[in-house]
Structure 1
Amino acid sequence: MMTLMGPIQAPLFPIRVFKISLYYSVFFYLFFLIFNTSFTIMGVDVGDFLKQYLGAFFGVYLTTTLKVFSVSLFLHTSLFTLAHLIFNFLKKPNPSWYVFVCTVFGIEFLALVQSMIQFPQIYGEFFFFRYPSFAPFLYFLTDHIPPILPSMVLVLALGVLFGLLVRQVYLHKSKESFFAINHVLVLGFIHIHGLYFFGLVYFAFLLWQGKRYQNVHIKTYGLVFVFFIFLYLIPNLWIGISSLRYSKVEGKPPIFILSADSLRYDKIGFQVNGSSITPNIDLFKKDAFQFHDHHTTIPRTFPSWADTLTGKYAMDHKVRDMFPSPEEKQRIGSSSFPTIQQILKKIGYEHYAIGSFAADIFPRANFGFDAVYAPNFNARIMTVQRTAETQILVLPFLVGSWFSGGMYLEELDGLSTWGDGKRLINRFHSLVKEKKDSPYSITYFSSVIHFPYTPSYPYYKRYTDPNYYGKYKYLKFVDPTDANLPNQVEISQIRSLFDSAVYAFDQEFGEMVGYLKEQGIYEDAIIILTADHGEALYEDIHGQGHGEHLRGEAVTHVPFMIKFPKTSKFGQLHENQREFTGITSSVDFVPTLMDYFNIPLTSEYPGKSLLAVLQDKDWKEDRFVYSETGIWFSDVGNHFFQKQRIPYPNILSLHQVVPEEDYQIMITDPIYRETIAFSKHRSIQNSNYKLIYIPTREGVKFELYDRKKDPLNQTNLFPNHPMASKMKDVLYKTVVKWESASVAGEYLIPSSLSDINENL
């Protein structure tokens, strides 16, 4: 019998190992593709949409499917070759195929168990929509087994492998032992960096070389070993070398915009069981200016960020929903609508964006970032995600819950169920370590609070009921077609999930601020905390989600805090001078920063610089701020806002996949776009009252609410209240001015993009 160290040297990786791996990979890939495929995304069935897409772009689908299979093949083959090494070191070089398969399957099953405990939300659709009878198994794991337990077993297995490797090198110092240890280093490097294509090429090389590794001098293997150790160290070495290029510039402090999707104002300092769910933000408040009545202009992510970073209204720059046409998104970053990043770049700043799935808006328009560490969103990426999610044996490796993986498929950064902030924090640390206190900005955008509310272990247990065993145990999708109200137990669970997600973000925030302090950057930095919008959580009849209506305080009222450098005149103000209760808007962000850097305004902005009122409590005048709704995703449902709207088709009927725009999903029909704009609900509010404009086929309806006495907006005061006429006049003047809208009766008629003659 041939052995690893026998007189007749056998290849370390015979073709038999690769054949078994190939059969294993094909079997499980097809098995899960057939029995674990779903066309539901965030509660919406996109089956018909994907069928149309696949029919038109079948070649793209084949390419993306091949990509997922290639990753699967590399991962399985890596495990089979490692298992083969272990058997060889144990002097059992030719075990039966089923022993091989059981060994690899056992390792993958342990990794799956660890991943399901760490990120049960990723497997939520499998256990709650496709195979709910298996849900008790997930309950058992998350209730009784900490993720460290299966991790320790996997670490032990890896330790045995390394121990055997070291023993072989120590005892024999042979080419085979050095080849084996280099093989493990190669696979580890490929795994950490997700270089699966090079991995497959490497395996092809192993098949081709056969016994030729014996012809390589042993000193060469030693050099290769040193080379790969150096490769492992390169990232940290490069950051250290690169940081030498950057230095502090007086008057140009680093800027950190730390934000979370759907973070409500009233959740800052919110008490659960006698303790705050945001302890780190509470501590930060002592150093920052707080704007207690801050509102977003539109409670949808893309247009909200477009408004915030350009300082202009969505009705002006025309990005008014999540799916702008090419002509609309090109206006962001144009000469007429520069972002604050582009403005500050002229005085020497560099800009970076970091984010998870909701940050997919940043690569889709010219926001002025030098680099974006966030997922993109298009039909091709969505296909990769849906295909990868079917492969549950491979998912633990793809989401990085197994020994520093997670870089294989960048498309998985866009998974709405992957609420892990660690990978974002690592990117934040790397950038700060490199840039230090030079002029740069980082826009950090966490999605953990966005539905389906998916904090990882142990945060999803923080405030939820351990005795709740329903479909909302780990996550809550939004189904825009379902107006049925959950029962009180379910509502309590959903709100507890949300609070747990807020706590998870607070921990991310604390890690970032703590790192800035550790690096000596905190005191001299500008740090801003905010959110793109809030979230309705079944208050009154408001439902769950954001963007469909403007009732209540939950969807537009968001936190806004600014910490200025301690050496600046604003950093010298006492803590009791940093509380502003007057109403403010997200369009105030750009004028405020431009004012801080003494950059003159080249055009009129709807917002105001907040620097002039930093020592005040309120505006001297009666200030009004504007908001509007997003796009309605569904055209059915019994929600109150579905009964108060001008109808247009559901989102899947409006969409088009545009190959010329990297297969982005857009609403390109100008008639639909004009209808969407015309149908929007709009509001104007001051510190005391809110007026909502609601166009319907029966005419325009108005709702006026007392914000302080009636925060849920239940009692309509229009038209008899003295403020009704004034606020209506302010709303119409605002829209006519910034949208170039016309008025027909009481309807506001938006200007068409085609009518705007502008040099972009």
Structure 2
Amino acid sequence: MGPNQAPLFPIRIFKISLYYSVFFYLFFLIFNTSFTIMGVDVGDFLKQYLGAFFGVYLTTTFKVFSVSLFLNTTLFTLVHLGFYFVTRKETKWFLLVGTVFLIQSLALFQSMIKFPQIYGEFFFFRYPSFAPFLYFLTDHISPNFLSIILALVCLVFLGILVINVYLYKTKESFFALIYVLVLTFVHIHGLYWIGILFLSLVLWQRDRYQNIHIKTYGFLFGFLMFLFILPNVWLTISSFRHSKENGKPPIFILSADSLRYDKIGYKINGESLTPNIDSFKNESFQFHDHHTTIPRTFPSWTDTLTGKYAMDHKIRDMFPSPDEKQRIGSSRYPTLQQILKKIGYDHFAIGSFAADIFPRANFGFDAVFAPNFNARIMTMQRTAETQILVLPFLLGSWFSGGMYLEELDGLSTWGDGDRLLHRFRSIVKERNFSPYSITYFSSVIHFPYTPAYPHYKRFTNHDYYGKYKYLKFVDPTESNLPNKAEISQIRSLFDSAVYAFDQEFGEMVGFLKEKGIYDDAIIILTADHGEALYEDVHGQGHGEHLRGESVTHVPFMIKFPKSDFKNIEEENFYGITSSVDLVPTMMDYFKIQLQSEYPGKSLLPILGEKSWKEERFVYAETGIWFSDRGDHFFQKQRIPYPNILSLHQVVPEEDYQIMITDPMYRETIAFSKHRSIQNSNYKLIYIPTREGVKFEMYDRIKDPLNQNNLYPNHPMASKMKEVLYKTVVKWENASLAGEYLIPSSISDINEN
């Protein structure tokens, strides 16, 4: 005969959990709220936004608190069950609170070691006096050690539960088992509303679990086990719906934000930053002098996937207006995905925070597994980040989870690639050899350079204990250089992030080989732009200027199916190429006729060559300047306009997206852009200022940092200027006012 029956979830436990949740929620909301985003103070903007959309803020707060309440209540009830099955007595409230707080603290410490960047603002912007504690954790404790402790806590609890089921076989013990399985399922899938309803039902029913027949518990156990394996079962069944089609290989565009060309194969103490990419390039065609058309993510990807210049399709910054966005995917500007859709391809996008561009426009993907970006989501992120005791559970840094708030996928400080790789593997398992493409876009290399444990330690200085130990945001208003030790640390963080992406790349390629897909697939490696890292006067970041090689020069490699081009021995091409070459190359491969003129070239005809037979020029332009302050060289060489916080608007009709909608500002931004034309040897930069147009010309081979201006005396100067003007006049329909290029307005264009 078993022990006395009693409610397993008494109202007392819920009250303790509720008081605990309210106290810590308000405590952290008051003492851990910051108006700093990516290192920039946006307090005035957020205050204005919260006043205009206070209802959105209330909804956000309610959602975050609901998740927090569910997680806390789950922990309290599980701790209560553990004590109850051991002592059969009512546990003191302070013992319950202390145990839950200890578990959450251990989870927090584990998460801080694994993702210290996520907690960087807390330790370096809000409470820097606590930073030594973070140093101690990351220097001396492995997250695996804390994971083992937490796992042992779980095992002890499960052991207590299993022993009770085995010894007593009562309805009470069976109900407890079902109870734990339901909460586990809810946690894994982030279904907190179902969890709250389930807890409410249990609270309402109290001890009525005794009225359920014991055989019913067996049925419920089997049903829950089926739910746990259902995703894999469904994936297997779904894979039978997709089959291989000759001539239509799977396509994988694998990319990383800010990946510089010169980091491929770069060695530190004899160790390459990119061992997996190094192996891949031996099996692919490599284009060594490849350049992006614009070093900002949204317009760069639009150029790459439409094959048209930003000055043509008008997506020229990160905050396009509704009428600019709707041009993507139109009959005049179809994307590569939309073109291949017509021959039977399905398309998927996977990415972390910088991939928020893909849900914001019609790129032609059938499914996008990437975060969105708008003011509502920013508010959700800021609110959730304050709750540091539950943040580890929201991130899934231990014991699964991580699906409660999809908005957290857009955290710029969360550089963990495991969640992206899981999505990649799931799609590949389902689609196998069928016609589909995956565009994979990692943000781990984008500032603030956030590789997870152990990668952030790989190349950084163990003895450095400054504010850049774990991350470095770009502050567009700051023009003072960090000191030598800080610059070294920042570059080492970047290198560690490159290594982290290489590990992701290796995981993907290895999985494709394991599934037998690699040999038959088209695999493309590239990046949207590079990154300046304090070379000469170039500063940190991308998009502000076109000097040097670091911001536009990116890797570009293509591996075709093994049966294609197998007789071509030369796999290295050194002539200059552009990101707008991808679309014509793929259309050439699939024998799809071009419906309009493209500025890029198909690269298939030059496979096996080392360079172009004719002279080729490629175009690039700057992005938007986020700040109108600072002593940077480019701030002295520009036509000023207001900073980004003054330029943009939150548009409720567009799901609270942040956009630049004023036509005057959009045209000013376009008019003010620096532009360049370059060939394999020289680069010419067009710089409009209020004092007139200035030109800079550099020898790319002898002067890669662009320090010695050759304009106007070099023999190539006039020819390159002529090519630049012809290119802009042709593709932008620009006009001339003296030496100024006057961009066409979007209102002047007749859309087909």
TM-score, normalised relative to structure 1: 0.98
Counterpart AA for 1:103: T
Displacement of 1:201 after TM fit? Answer: 0.8
Q: Residue 26 of structure 1 is aligned with which of 19, 22, 28?
A: 22
1:326 has 2:319 as partner: no
Q: Residue 635 of structure 2 is aligned with which of 636, 639, 642?
A: 642
Paired residue secondary structure (1:245): coil
Counterpart AA for 2:353: F
Displacement of 1:38 after TM fit? Answer: 0.6
Does structure 2 conserve the Cα–Cα contact (< 8 Å) formed by 1:293 and 1:557?
yes
Displacement of 1:552 after TM fit? Answer: 0.1
Does structure 2 conserve the Cα–Cα contact (< 8 Å) formed by 1:293 and 1:581?
yes
Displacement of 1:330 after TM fit? Answer: 0.6
Aligned to 1:291: 287
Write the distance in 1 (CA, Å) between the matches of 2:248 and 2:658.
Answer: 38
Write the distance in 2 (CA, Å) between the matches of 1:508 and 1:241.
Answer: 27
Write the distance in 1 (CA, Å) between the matches of 2:398 and 2:566.
Answer: 44
Write the distance in 2 (CA, Å) between the matches of 1:78 and 1:39.
Answer: 31
Counterpart AA for 1:522: Y
Displacement of 1:5 after TM fit? Answer: 5.2
Query: Where does structure 2 lack aligned partners over 5 or more consecutive residues?
Result: none
Write the distance in 1 (CA, Å) between the matches of 2:696 and 2:90.
Answer: 78
Paired residue secondary structure (1:12): coil
Q: Residue 310 of structure 2 is aligned with which of 307, 314, 326?
A: 314
Does structure 1 conserve the Cα–Cα contact (< 8 Å) formed by 2:84 and 2:91?
no
Displacement of 1:384 after TM fit? Answer: 0.4
Q: Residue 77 of structure 2 is aligned with which of 62, 75, 81?
A: 81
Displacement of 1:571 after TM fit? Answer: 3.6
Does structure 2 conserve the Cα–Cα contact (< 8 Å) formed by 1:262 and 1:449?
yes
Q: Residue 190 of structure 1 is aligned with which of 180, 186, 192?
A: 186
Aligned to 1:684: 677
Does structure 1 conserve the Cα–Cα contact (< 8 Å) formed by 2:568 and 2:607?
no
Write the distance in 1 (CA, Å) between the matches of 2:355 and 2:671.
Answer: 27
Aligned to 1:573: 568
Paired residue secondary structure (1:90): helix
Write the distance in 2 (CA, Å) between the matches of 1:523 and 1:134.
Answer: 51
Write the distance in 1 (CA, Å) between the matches of 2:686 and 2:558.
Answer: 32
Does structure 2 conserve the Cα–Cα contact (< 8 Å) formed by 1:565 and 1:571?
no
Matches within 5 A, 1:369-388: 369-388=365-384
Q: Residue 401 of structure 2 is aligned with which of 400, 405, 428?
A: 405
Write the distance in 2 (CA, Å) between the matches of 1:65 and 1:515.
Answer: 40
1:738 has 2:750 as partner: no
Residue correspondences, number = 752
Q: Deviations over 1:703-738 (max 9, x none)?
A: 000000000000000011111100000000000000
Displacement of 1:6 after TM fit? Answer: 3.8
Alpha-carbon spacing, 1:5–1:646, altered in 2? closer, same or farther (3 Å): farther
Aligned to 2:107: 111
Counterpart AA for 2:667: E
Aligned to 1:530: 526
Counterpart AA for 2:196: L
Q: Residue 161 of structure 1 is aligned with which of 150, 157, 160?
A: 157
Q: Deviations over 1:69-88 (max 9, x none)?
A: 11100000000000011011
Q: Tell me whether 217-226 or 443-452 shows the greater mean CA deviation.
A: 217-226
Does structure 2 conserve the Cα–Cα contact (< 8 Å) formed by 1:299 and 1:532?
yes
Q: Deviations over 1:540-561 (max 9, x none)?
A: 0000000000000000000000
Displacement of 1:366 after TM fit? Answer: 0.2
Q: Residue 655 of structure 1 is aligned with which of 648, 653, 672?
A: 648
Q: Residue 708 of structure 1 is aligned with which of 690, 701, 712?
A: 701
Write the distance in 1 (CA, Å) between the matches of 2:48 and 2:748.
Answer: 32
Matches within 5 A, 1:213-612: 213-568=209-564, 570-574=565-569, 577-612=570-605
Aligned to 1:67: 63
Displacement of 1:92 after TM fit? Answer: 4.5
Displacement of 1:53 after TM fit? Answer: 1.0
Write the distance in 1 (CA, Å) between the matches of 2:158 and 2:540.
Answer: 51
Displacement of 1:265 after TM fit? Answer: 0.1
Query: Where does structure 1 lack aligned partners over 5 or more consecutive residues?
Result: none
Does structure 2 conserve the Cα–Cα contact (< 8 Å) formed by 1:418 and 1:454?
yes
1:624 has 2:639 as partner: no
Aligned to 1:613: 606
Q: Deviations over 1:663-701 (max 9, x none)?
A: 100000000000000000000000000000000000000
Write the distance in 1 (CA, Å) between the matches of 2:741 and 2:670.
Answer: 10
Does structure 2 conserve the Cα–Cα contact (< 8 Å) formed by 1:341 and 1:367?
yes
Aligned to 1:727: 720
Write the distance in 1 (CA, Å) between the matches of 2:14 and 2:384.
Answer: 22
Once the two structures are aligned, what percentage of the paired residues are identical?
Answer: 80
Q: Residue 665 of structure 1 is aligned with which of 654, 658, 661?
A: 658
Does structure 2 conserve the Cα–Cα contact (< 8 Å) formed by 1:253 and 1:438?
yes
Write the distance in 1 (CA, Å) between the matches of 2:98 and 2:88.
Answer: 15
Does structure 1 conserve the Cα–Cα contact (< 8 Å) formed by 2:456 and 2:496?
yes
Q: Residue 748 of structure 1 is aligned with which of 737, 741, 744?
A: 741
Aligned to 2:31: 35
Write the distance in 1 (CA, Å) between the matches of 2:101 and 2:93.
Answer: 12
Counterpart AA for 1:668: T
Q: Deviations over 1:366-413 (max 9, x none)?
A: 000000000000000000000000000011001110201100000000
Paired residue secondary structure (1:643): helix
Cα RMSD between the aligned structures?
0.8
Displacement of 1:508 after TM fit? Answer: 0.2
1:205 has 2:205 as partner: no
Write the distance in 2 (CA, Å) between the matches of 1:739 and 1:371.
Answer: 32
Does structure 1 conserve the Cα–Cα contact (< 8 Å) formed by 2:532 and 2:541?
yes
Paired residue secondary structure (2:98): helix
Write the distance in 2 (CA, Å) between the matches of 1:571 and 1:92.
Answer: 73
Counterpart AA for 1:56: A
